[in-house]
Amino acid sequence: MARQKKVTINGQDYTLQSVSPRWYFDANDRHGMTGGKKNTAGYVDEIFKNVVVEPPEIKAQGIEYFCDMDDGIEVTEQLLTEVESFLRGRK
């Protein structure tokens, strides 16, 4: 079973679920995060759709879920930090 973790950002709960190392590194490569031209929005979108399992709207909408929020950039950055720490096994 995939490893999971619950995090709370600005009062909203999110459930994260692990992915395989191969998938994670391939996603980094696909979006140029390891060199070359970066596609940060594409990276965040793919990561969120595959790692954030709750709320289900994020799995369906990815980064678009945050676009109409007043603090969407801040929440997106905080959630991405949590996701990457979780995937890398950091506390």
**Each residue's pLDDT tens digit, 12-68:** 999 999 999 999 999 999 999 988 899 999 999 999 999 999 999 999 999 999 999
Distances from the Cα of 2 to the Cα of 57, 65, 91, angstroms: 20, 24, 17
**What CA dihedral angle connects 21, 13, 41 and 24, to 10 degrees?**
0
- Identify the pLDDT of residue 91: 60
Owning domain of residue 61: 4-87
Task: Count how many domains the chain has.
Answer: 1
If you average pLDDT over residues 72-82, what whole number do you get?
97
Phi, psi of 5 (to 5 degrees): -150, 140
- The pair of structure tokens assigned to 39 is 């596609």
- Residue showing tokens 């890398």: 88
- pTM to 2 decimal places: 0.91
